[in-house]
Each structure stands twice: as C-alpha cells, then as structure tokens.
Structure 1
Amino acid sequence: MRQVKRALPGQCQALLVSLIVCAALIIQSEQQVGDAKAQRRHEPIEVNTPEAANVRSPRSVFHVRWNPNEKFIVESRENPAINSSKLAPHPRLKVSKNTKLTLSPKLYLCHDKHSELCHNKTQQFRQRIVQTFEKAMTESVNESDPNHYNVDYKPVFGDSFEEQYYPSTCLVMEAGVRVLRRKDEPFNKLPFGRLFPRQKLFRNIRNIKTCAIVSSAGSLAGSKLGRFIDTHDIVMRFNHAPTEGHEVDVGSKTTIRVVNSQVVTKPEFDFTRAPIFRNVTIAAWDPGKYNGTLEDWLTSADYDLFTNYEIYRRRYPKSRAFLIDPHSVWRLWQSLQMFAGNRAIRRNPPSSGFIGLALLLPHCPQVDFVEYVPSTRLNGRCHYYSKEMNSACTFGSWHPLAAEKLMALDMNMAEDDDMSVFQFGILRIRRPDKLLCGFNFFGY
C-alpha cells in the first residue's frame, strides 16, 4: 500500500490535517444537531428557503410511494438457479458451531415510535445486537487465521485523531470500488479484455435519486417490504437470491446483481444459462491476493470465474456483465480495518453486501440497506428463501461481517434512527458531502 505523500514537514502536515478534519466535523455536527431536533419532534426536517421550494424533501424510510393502478417495474424475470437448493446458501461461509440465536428478538418487537416503552425496547435490542457484533469480532480473530490472502496491512496514522473521527462514508467512498474497463492494464493488451462492456456500470446517473440494497437475510421473510423496495430507482440483489414467490417481502425489481466467483464458477448455479442471471446488470468479483497484480489474479483467482464469464459474454454479447477490480476490494477491506482502529478484523475480503454498498454509494445520493443490520424480525435463518438455521449467516464467521455491520450502523442517517433499523429493518446511508471527505488517508 502506498504511503501518503508528505509535501509539508511532519508537524505542519499533522496540524493541517487536524484543521481539515475539525472543520468537517463542525459541518457534520451542525447537520446532525438539526436532524436530532427534527427527530425529537417526530417530524421531517423542513427547509423554508425559496430555493428549497423546488427540491424534493427526503421521504421517511417508512413511507411507501405506491399507486395500486401502477404495475410493478420488473427488469428481469427471475427464478432460482438450477439445483441451487442443494448448495450451502453462502458458499464461503465457515460453518459456525453455534447455529441457534442466543436472544429472543420477539421480546423487543414493537411498532409505536411515539411510545416510551417501544423506544426502550428498541434501545435494549440495539444494545444486544451491538454487543453480539463486538463479541463476534473478537472471537473470529482469536480463532486460527491462516491469512490465505497474504494480507500485509500497515496503518497510515494508527490511532490518530484524524483516523478515529473521519466519517465512515468517506472511508467507503475513497476505497474506490470499481469495475474493470477495457483500457485497464493488462486487459487492454489481452483478447479477454475486449469482453468487458463498453458502457459504464450505471447509466443515466443524474436520474438516480434513491437506491435499495436488498440483503438475502432470513429476517426478510414476512417483512412485507416488497412495495417499499420497488419504489427505488436502483435495486441491488446478491448471488442467486430469487424474487419470484417472494415479491410481497422482497419486491420484484432488480437492476443489478452482485455475484461472487463461486456462484459464477460452480455448475450447480448454472451461471451461463440460469434465467436469474439474464436481463440484469451483473457485477462479479473474486478477491485475488492482497498485494497480487492483475496478471497474478488471472492465473490464481480463488475460483476461475473467467471461463464462465467468457462463455456468458459470448453467449449474450449485449449483456451488461462486469468484473470488479480485486484491488479495489482490498482497498475496501483497508477502509474497514481503519474504521475498526486497533481491533484486528478477519484478513478475508468483505462480503458481497459491503462491496455492493461501496460500488453503489458514489452514484446514489441515498441508499436504503434492507435487513443488513438485523431487526427484531431476526429469526436465525440464513436466507429468506431457505430454511437453514445458522446465526453465523448474520453475525459472520468468514467475512469480517460483524465489523461491516458496525460500520454500516455508524453510517446510518435514517429518520427515527434506531426505530428504522431495528424495528423496520431499513438502514439509510446518504452519500457524504464533498466538504466532509477528500483527505484520502491511503494516498490513492
């Protein structure tokens, strides 16, 4: 990892950095004070300036814009991949010894956001979930960690003031998660590179206002969030998670599907032919080695996703199927480790969900992450479309999942804050203002 260039003497640079971060914190603090006042009134923030008259006010995460006379906007007709039920729902997930939940979420269930009792229940549930994540982080690192990906991470500033208080959304943005393009070396000199689509990953960016990232969590079963999800301009899903038969809970609209290399590679998922992977944008990823080159990645990927990717692109030349730059995946891991500070996280790549967030956030002003941080609907099931019970699917055992969810919770800007996340299952993340970001700890 490249070190940050020092154009000024060390003491001057440290002072300048502190001033920049302090200024950003003042701006962020003023915005949060205004948000907090509005939340205490249980009313949306209103801007009464003439310039704001034509600006669409942010809608509450509980509001569903729904006209029964309008049909669902379906961008792909989806079915589960062939024989997918015979596979473990999360290919890379290490099986946990503890398959049952140690808490009873139903004890904390409530819906009256004005009730003090409901508020207390929500806070208690939040505390239990955060404690479980903290414990999962500690236990996962204490277990044997073979460092399969040769991760050699050295923090730039350690536990400095700047690193501790830099906004989490900025860390995610500056990781720069991206898809590979034809002009990228070495693909600009290889026939394989000509398979990459000429188009950008997201089209008509100016028209994108709201985005939904739909986790595959078992707690989505019975959520009835389908209408809410389908109101978003962009809807992101993962791997082979189906919509057909689950529309009431997860919606029917799919704009982009993030898939890992095992799903692309293993014949059981039938990536090159299954209808679920057709007529939808695909972003496939494989981590490669931490400091490996792209040339190394072509010959030593975790799973050979290149063969099926080539078959898919030649079979469907008009398809929009992209490969995510593995270097950017590890930059995201660095951002996650920076957020964790002096607590070491698993030296394995982030999950598809966190990669998807980083891929989407630069292009979307507002991202609603659905049932990523578990709500009181938590039922112990791995996925809404399967009955497998395993708490590791929620709290992590291979990916640094607990750290990811703590960081996502730190980014939450939803109205009615904890009520939205822990009772309704909707975590809202807003793209950060440029004034809050821009320091770039990594020197990319």
Structure 2
Amino acid sequence: MLQVKYRATLPATLISALLLCALIIQTQQQQNDAAAAAIPAATPAATAAKAQRIREPNVMVNKASVETRNAVRRLARSVFHVRWNPNEKFIVESRESPAINSSKLAPHPRLKVSKNTKLTLSPKLYLCHDKYAEQCHNKTASFRRRIVQTFERSMSEALNESNHYYVDYKPVFGDSFEEQYYPSTCLVMEAGVRVLRRTDKPFNKLPFGRLFPRQKLFRNVKNIKTCAIVSSAGSLAGSKLGRFIDTHDIVMRFNHAPTRGHEVDVGSKTTIRVVNSQVVTKPEFDFAHAPIFRNVTIAAWDPGRYNGTLEDWLTSADYDLFTNYEIYRRRYPKSRAFLIDPHSVWRLWQSLQMFAGNRSIRRNPPSSGFIGLALLLPHCPQVDFVEYVPSTRLNGRCHYYSKEMNSACTFGSWHPLAAEKLMALDMNVADDMSVFQFGILRIRRPDKLLCGFNFFGY
C-alpha cells in the first residue's frame, strides 16, 4: 500500500480521496506489469492468448499453487522474461567495418567439407510461436529430439583416422560416479581457458612476450552482468535478434563475421572477437589491417600439439600466427590483442571428452565458439549463446553472411561440434521454447560450492 503523508488539519474527505487515488494508481501499475510483453516480437496468437487471460473475470488464484508452479519453472524459463518497452530507442554505436570481401571468403577455415551438405530434416515443420499452445509445445519437443538424435549420430560416426595433434588422452577416473554427475559448467570452468601473460615462461625471457598487453582480458568485471555469444550460424539470417544481443554488457563474435548490413539480425555491438590462427595468418583475411579487427578486444588461438611445450608451439604452430600478431601489436600498440594459451585449449578438449564418457570424440581442438564460452563463463554470471544449438530457423547455410550450404557447419566434421553442443544443452537453464524456437541458450556461471573437485590435477 502506498503511504500518503498529510497534515492532521486536512478534511477527512480529502484524505479518503487521496488514499483512493493512490490505491487506483498502484492497482493499475500492477495490471500494467502483469500485461507487459515477455517476448520482443510477440505473435498475434500469443498476444490474443495473453489478452484472454487478462480479461477473465473473478478468477480466484491459490497463492500456494502459484508459488509451487513458479518453483518448478525456475530451473528452465524463457530467456525473454524481461520488461520490454517497444517504444524505447536503443542505439549502439560500432566503429567496426567488415573485412575486405569477407562474405566471399571460405565459410570456415578449418572446416572439413562434408559429403552430406543437405539437411536431413525440415525445420519449418516444427516452427511455432505460441508457447502456451499444446501443439507448439509438442512441435518444440519433437524438434529437440531430432536435433539431439542428429548430434548423437554425428558423435557415433567414424572418427577421423589421423591424429594430427598426437592426442594421447587417458581418463583419470573412468566411469566413476563423480565423473558422470559432475556439473558440466564446472568442467568448463576448471579447464581454465586463459590468455598468455608476459610473466609466463618462456615469454618472460623473450622479446616476443613484451608484445602481450599488460591489461587483463576483461575490464571492470564487477560491472559485468549479462553476456552474449553470437555464433556465425546461417540461421541468424532473418532472426531479428539484433536488439536483444546489443542489450548485453559483453558481446562476443568470431573470426571475420561482419555486423554492418546485418544489424537487425545480429546487432552492432562487439566487445571481443575470438579468432583462429588461420584468420590471423592467411592474407585474404588481412588481419593486420582490416577495420573489423580494430577497436575491439582480440583473443587469437592456435592449438599446437596436445602435449607440446610452449617452446615447441613457437616453432611448430598449426599456423604461424605470431608474425601477423607482432605486426598488429606494433602497428596498434594500444590495442587489446591477446593469445590464448594452447595448453588450456586442450584442457577444454579433455573436459569435452570427460563429458562424453565412454564415447570418443574427435581428436581435434574445440571450436572457437566453445573456446569463447570457456573464456567468458568465469567472468560473466549469465551467458546467452545465440544460435549455437540450432533452432527451427535452421536453413543449412554455414554463416549468415554467406550462401555456402553445408550441414557440417552445424553438426560437425572436424571440430568435436556434436559433443560441444550436447554439453552446452546439458548446461542450459532456459526452456526449450527459448532454445529451439528463438535460438537462445542460457548458461549460468556455477556456484563455487558446486565445483572444486579437480579431475585434471592442475
């Protein structure tokens, strides 16, 4: 009840009128809050259903039952449960520009071309928007089953025979109870994906080490509340998620994925780019000069050998990213460009293999997307991963900025993508509607009390 301060000399009728007005204002505000749109682009069916619930007269709601239902929904809820004002103007300035001919470059530098380039399912059959309708719920559940089955099948397919990185992994605990039920988010956190520092050996004694920035990868960590990881998936085309993406404190993108011309779907805000060593090395990406790699934090990675030392990595990297990295840092000495520790990349691979259990995953490093998640999760309480696990917008395109068609971009043929996405689903706290209809998977940073059993012995 709103309190109204008044003097004792005021007439009783005036006092009653003031209290009545206050009560009416409070009631109206509560009704407005209850009717606020939960999804940015509400469909006519969802709007009509919501309006019908508001108009129902004389509905007696049991408070205990409401609290019980809320407790059940708390584990998996829509990522759009926020107050959304469609009239509010939200503009984010971005100084980045696409790399030269970026949309015509190879869709994924490390992608092994799949023999099966076409999708084996029709996502449009499962498309729906009214999350309150039983038919929509059934469609979403069916699509989820199809996607999970496809990932499972991809994991069980014949793995690449070559072991280019000399991976020699031996499980620490086998099929122990602890390993099977240890939270996936803790496995990702304890992999400890990190950037190299000037004090790391052997860089502390090499002139090259002085090129590393003195600052930390993420600044003002206490002010970070929400983060968005924007995949480069072709299903982002037409998604109209740009405004949702730009509302996050940190927005992570990958390689040379442009924003200009795609702002409505992917937003315009970029905080950090995770780039692989081929993008840094190959001349067509023009890493040292392309505007898209300036005025933004860069985290570049190359896997090196599984058990190789950093000294070995300097002389036998998968791709020589060091030359262009040095050119970039000398050209832009105030830039924030970091190199990711290759040992931590392979620790993340170990986390994936541990999650997969008895099933062997591809003996190749994780994708940039999964590496980015591991970089971000320790610093961000809540991470929204956009179109990483495919939604019903799945169209077979590799990237939203190219017309290349290849299902391997989604389900994997070189990176252990299937294992990554199954693990991401295991970490997800959003409801199926958010993930498989709207394309947003939500991962929360685990509580320190849940983690701490160090499987890797670091």
Distance 1:113 1:71, change over 3 A: closer
Equivalent residues of 2:90, 2:243 under 8 A apart: no
| TM score, norm. by length of structure 1 | 0.86
Q: CA deviation at 1:81?
A: 1.4
Is the aligned partner of 1:325 residue 2:344?
no
Distance 1:262 1:205, change over 3 A: same
The residue type paired with residue 426 of structure 1 is I
The residue type paired with residue 73 of structure 1 is V
Q: CA deviation at 1:277?
A: 0.2
- The aligned residue for residue 92 of structure 2 is 73
CA distance in structure 2 between the aligned counterparts of 1:80 and 1:169, rounded to whole angstroms: 33
The residue type paired with residue 97 of structure 1 is K
1:93-104 superposed matches below 5 A: 93-104=111-122
Is the aligned partner of 1:419 residue 2:433?
yes
Tell me how many residue pairs correspond in the alignment: 392
CA distance in structure 1 between the aligned counterparts of 2:393 and 2:71, rounded to whole angstroms: 24
- In structure 1, the gaps of 5 or more residues are 1-33, 46-57
The residue type paired with residue 105 of structure 1 is P
- Paired residue for 2:105, among 71, 87, 91? 87
- The aligned residue for residue 136 of structure 1 is 154
Is the aligned partner of 1:281 residue 2:323?
no
Q: Summarize deviations over 1:400-422 as a string: whole Å, max 9, x none.
A: 000000000000011xx111100
3-state DSSP class of the match of 1:227?
A: helix
- Paired residue for 1:202, among 209, 213, 218? 218
Q: CA deviation at 1:69?
A: 5.3
Is the aligned partner of 1:307 residue 2:339?
no
Q: CA deviation at 1:437?
A: 0.4
- The aligned residue for residue 80 of structure 2 is 61
Distance 1:129 1:147, change over 3 A: same
Equivalent residues of 1:145, 1:347 under 8 A apart: no
Is the aligned partner of 1:349 residue 2:365?
yes
- The aligned residue for residue 394 of structure 1 is 410
- The aligned residue for residue 451 of structure 2 is 437
1:222-301 superposed matches below 5 A: 222-301=238-317
CA distance in structure 1 between the aligned counterparts of 2:234 and 2:78, rounded to whole angstroms: 26
3-state DSSP class of the match of 1:403?
A: helix
Distance 1:102 1:401, change over 3 A: same
1:211-230 superposed matches below 5 A: 211-230=227-246
3-state DSSP class of the match of 2:280?
A: helix
Q: Summarize deviations over 1:298-335 as a string: whole Å, max 9, x none.
A: 00001000000000000000000000000000000000
- The aligned residue for residue 38 of structure 1 is 70
Q: Summarize deviations over 1:246-284 as a string: whole Å, max 9, x none.
A: 000000000000000000000000000000000000000
Distance 1:68 1:194, change over 3 A: farther
3-state DSSP class of the match of 1:229?
A: helix
CA distance in structure 2 between the aligned counterparts of 1:240 and 1:178, rounded to whole angstroms: 21
- The aligned residue for residue 151 of structure 1 is 167
- Paired residue for 1:408, among 424, 428, 445? 424
- Paired residue for 1:359, among 362, 375, 381? 375
Distance 1:394 1:198, change over 3 A: same
CA distance in structure 2 between the aligned counterparts of 1:36 and 1:199, rounded to whole angstroms: 47
CA distance in structure 1 between the aligned counterparts of 2:168 and 2:130, rounded to whole angstroms: 48
3-state DSSP class of the match of 1:298?
A: helix
3-state DSSP class of the match of 2:421?
A: helix
3-state DSSP class of the match of 2:288?
A: coil
- The aligned residue for residue 139 of structure 2 is 121
Q: CA deviation at 1:59?
A: 8.5
Distance 1:89 1:326, change over 3 A: same
- Paired residue for 1:181, among 197, 203, 206? 197
Q: CA deviation at 1:84?
A: 2.8
Is the aligned partner of 1:377 residue 2:409?
no
CA distance in structure 1 between the aligned counterparts of 2:67 and 2:408, rounded to whole angstroms: 34
CA distance in structure 2 between the aligned counterparts of 1:215 and 1:116, rounded to whole angstroms: 30
User: Larger RCO: Structure 1 or Structure 2 (Cα < 8 Å, ≥ 6 residues apart)?
Assistant: 1
Equivalent residues of 1:258, 1:282 under 8 A apart: yes
The residue type paired with residue 122 of structure 1 is T
CA distance in structure 2 between the aligned counterparts of 1:170 and 1:370, rounded to whole angstroms: 21
CA distance in structure 2 between the aligned counterparts of 1:204 and 1:59, rounded to whole angstroms: 28
| Superposed CA RMSD | 1.8
CA distance in structure 1 between the aligned counterparts of 2:385 and 2:160, rounded to whole angstroms: 31
Q: CA deviation at 1:88?
A: 1.3
Q: CA deviation at 1:36?
A: 9.1
| Higher radius of gyration, 1 or 2 | 2
Distance 1:64 1:268, change over 3 A: farther
CA distance in structure 1 between the aligned counterparts of 2:129 and 2:300, rounded to whole angstroms: 38
CA distance in structure 2 between the aligned counterparts of 1:409 and 1:73, rounded to whole angstroms: 30
3-state DSSP class of the match of 2:253?
A: strand
- In structure 2, the gaps of 5 or more residues are 1-65
| TM score, norm. by length of structure 2 | 0.83
- The aligned residue for residue 5 of structure 2 is none
Equivalent residues of 1:65, 1:231 under 8 A apart: no
Distance 1:239 1:36, change over 3 A: farther
Equivalent residues of 1:346, 1:399 under 8 A apart: yes
Distance 1:66 1:294, change over 3 A: farther
Distance 1:380 1:272, change over 3 A: same
Distance 1:325 1:135, change over 3 A: same
Equivalent residues of 2:396, 2:407 under 8 A apart: yes
CA distance in structure 1 between the aligned counterparts of 2:314 and 2:280, rounded to whole angstroms: 15
Equivalent residues of 1:243, 1:251 under 8 A apart: yes
Is the aligned partner of 1:107 residue 2:125?
yes
Q: CA deviation at 1:71?
A: 4.6
Q: Summarize deviations over 1:359-416 as a string: whole Å, max 9, x none.
A: 00000000000000000000000000011110000000000000000000000011xx
CA distance in structure 1 between the aligned counterparts of 2:170 and 2:259, rounded to whole angstroms: 42
3-state DSSP class of the match of 2:151?
A: helix
Q: Summarize deviations over 1:329-370 as a string: whole Å, max 9, x none.
A: 000000000000000000000000000000000000000000
Distance 1:224 1:130, change over 3 A: same
Query: Runs of 4 or more off by more than 4 Å in structure 1?
Result: 64-71
